[in-house]
Amino acid sequence: MSDELDGTYQVTSTTSYNGPLQKKSDGVTEIKNSQTERRDEANCLWTSNFKIISEIEVEMTSVADPSGADEDFSLTKPDGSPTREPVTYTSMLKLARKGDKIQLSGQIEYDNNITFLTMRKLT
């Protein structure tokens, strides 16, 4: 079941965050053997693991490591303050399939913010 998600995905997000730090996490990623590793627009390294829980649910654990990101880029700690340390995000995503098309979607709640995440399989 783990290889079912393999492919290239478009990652898009919308967040309730209103702070001064610009979020640049959208982009394209490849899932291979239930894992991804990519650098976003700010050069922040995202490493994610995906575990299929059921026919309609996937658990995603992502670690964002900004240590090599652009100088003016930071993530936020649970208290909302900026950090250059890695941050771990965990979420349950809804799995939708139609033929060979796959979409993962859900929300990540972190500090007082909610990020709505969508991953659409391109190939």
- The residues spanned by each domain of the chain are 2-61+71-121
Q: Which of 62, 68, 88, 70 is nearest to 21 (CA)?
A: 70
Q: What pLDDT does residue 62 have?
A: 93
Nearest-angstrom CA–CA distance, 101 and 116: 20
Percent of the chain with pLDDT over 90: 61
User: Lowest-pLDDT range, 69-73, 97-101, 111-115, 119-123?
Assistant: 111-115
| CATH 1.10.3470 for the 2-61+71-121 domain, yes or no | no
What is the reported pTM? 0.85
pLDDT at 14 over 50: yes
Length of the chain, please?
123
Average pLDDT over every residue of 8-25: 75
Nearest-5° angle of CA 93, CA 43, CA 88?
A: 40
pLDDT at 1 over 70: no
Q: What pLDDT does residue 75 have?
A: 87
- Chain-wide mean pLDDT for the chain? 88
pLDDT at 45 over 60: yes
- The tens digit of pLDDT for each residue in 66-97 reads 999 998 888 888 887 889 999 999 999 999 99
